[in-house]
Structure 1
Amino acid sequence: MDPQDLDLINGLLDSDADLRERIKEHVIDFDKRTRTMVGMLNKVHSTASAEIPTLLDSVRPVLHSCQDTTAALAAIIPPNQFWRWKDMWNNSLRASVFSAVLIEFLANGTLLSLASVSEQLGIKEEWSDRFVLSVEDYLHGLISMINELSRLAVNAVTLGDYDAPIRISIFVKELFAGFSMLNLKNDILRRRFDSLKYDIKKIEEVVYDVSLRKLASPPTKPA
């Protein structure tokens, strides 16, 4: 092999190794932020419903701080190399999606769209070839939220909130119906979606028990 070619290849290898280390530093920071959020949100299982807004207020600043990390990553990823490096931050990004959508549901009972999650994480359209929130990462975050809500349906009853399982059940069933209309070709994503039927069954059992015991508030009649 020509010495000049060897020098060129070595230079490219060194450049990739350096970039990987720089990305790793930011991903470690991203992971710390998301682990903090997930840990804080886990307290929802032992927090009375009246105190949940205060809990969410304490988590939101951490979520917004993730914008610093996404901007830092976007700044160092070379153009058109998003798919080359995205596996390095997949887990952290999905955890941040999980946190954002769970906060939205707990606060307002609604689903945060992919575009809205991207906005909360400070992800800009002009980064499309360097750093974006992919559909798959968004869906993974939603599935993780449903997993968490199946736990919350049980623990909310323990804390005396008998209406929570019903709200959760309605929301999860609507979300599951939406998932059912998607053509999921990713094997991991498909398996995770298929497993949601166990979460739904768990929630339905709680709703049935609460309804049978007439613990929940009666449904409000339309005006």
Structure 2
Amino acid sequence: MDQHDLDFINSQLEGDIDLREKIKEQVHEFDKKTRTVVGLLNKVHGTTSDKIPSLLDDVRPLLVDCRTITASLAQLVPQNQFWRWKDMWSNSIRAAVFGAALVEYLGTGTLITVVKVNEILGIHDEWKDRLALPAEDYLHGLITLVNELSRLAVNAVTLGNYEEPIRISIFVKDLFAGFSMLNLKNDTLRRRYDSLKYDLKKIEEVVYDVSLRKLVAPPGQRPQPTP
């Protein structure tokens, strides 16, 4: 290689190193925000149902605050280089999806959509060549949600909320059915999906226990959820 080529390659390498460090700084901030979100949501396991809305009110602004990070990342990443750099913030995005999904479930009893996650995190469609929410990261976040709900099913009973495991069971079974219709070719995602069977079994055992002990009304006598 001549000197011109060497200088050009060195310039490219130095540029990549500089960009990587700048992205790392933003990812570090992203991680801090998502850790705070997850830490607050962990309180749900010791919070009675009447105090859940107040807890969610504390968490929602923190999720929205992640928009500053996503905007910074979108500004840093060069055009058409999303797939080159995305692994640097994948874990942060998945944690944010989990946080948003748990807030949605606790607040409405429904599954959060990809569109709503993008809205909460401030991820715009025009950024898709620089920053986006891949389907795999969304699904990873939902699997973490199920992991957490299986734990919540147990802890809700200790707090005297015997109906919550029933609601969790219905929600998780529906979500599991949706996953079963997907063609999951990613090995890590496939393994995590397979682990959902154990979460589902754990939830079903809790439901069986509260039903056997007659802590909840029979199916035909339970109050119907408000639309």
Give the distance between the partners of 1:116 and 1:57, measured in 2 at CA: 17
Residue 51, structure 1, aligned to residue 51, structure 2: yes
Cα offsets for 1:54-105 (capped at 9, x unmatched): 0010001100000010000001100000000000000000000000000000
Q: Which residue of 2 aligns with 1:14?
A: 14
Give the distance between the partners of 1:166 and 1:20, measured in 2 at CA: 46
Paired residue type of 1:64: V
Q: Which residue of 1 aligns with 2:223?
A: 220
Query: 1:219 deviation in Å?
Result: 1.9
Unaligned runs of 5+ in 2: none
Unaligned runs of 5+ in 1: none
What is the root-mean-square deviation of aligned Cα atoms in Å? 1.0
Paired residue type of 2:28: I
Give the distance between the partners of 1:216 and 1:134, measured in 2 at CA: 40
Distance 1:5 1:158, change over 3 A: same
Give the distance between the partners of 1:25 and 1:221, measured in 2 at CA: 48
Secondary structure of 1:216's aligned partner = coil
Give the distance between the partners of 1:39 and 1:220, measured in 2 at CA: 32
Query: 1:129 deviation in Å?
Result: 0.2
Query: 1:124 deviation in Å?
Result: 0.1
Residue 137, structure 1, aligned to residue 147, structure 2: no
Give the distance between the partners of 2:29 and 2:173, measured in 1 at CA: 35
Correspondences of 1:68-79 after superposition (within 5 Å): 68-79=68-79
Q: Which residue of 2 aligns with 1:201?
A: 201
Query: 1:29 deviation in Å?
Result: 0.3
Give the distance between the partners of 2:162 and 2:81, measured in 1 at CA: 49
Q: Which residue of 1 aligns with 2:86?
A: 86
Q: Which residue of 2 aligns with 1:180?
A: 180
Secondary structure of 2:65's aligned partner = helix
Q: TM-score, normalised by structure 1?
A: 0.98
Paired residue type of 2:11: G
Paired residue type of 2:120: Q
Give the distance between the partners of 1:117 and 1:210, measured in 2 at CA: 34
Paired residue type of 1:207: V
Secondary structure of 1:110's aligned partner = coil
Q: Which residue of 2 aligns with 1:164?
A: 164
Give the distance between the partners of 1:157 and 1:55, measured in 2 at CA: 19
Query: 1:220 deviation in Å?
Result: 3.4
Query: 1:115 deviation in Å?
Result: 1.1
Residue 41, structure 1, aligned to residue 41, structure 2: yes
Give the distance between the partners of 1:4 and 1:144, measured in 2 at CA: 50
Cα offsets for 1:161-215 (capped at 9, x unmatched): 0000000000000000000000000000000000100000000000000011111
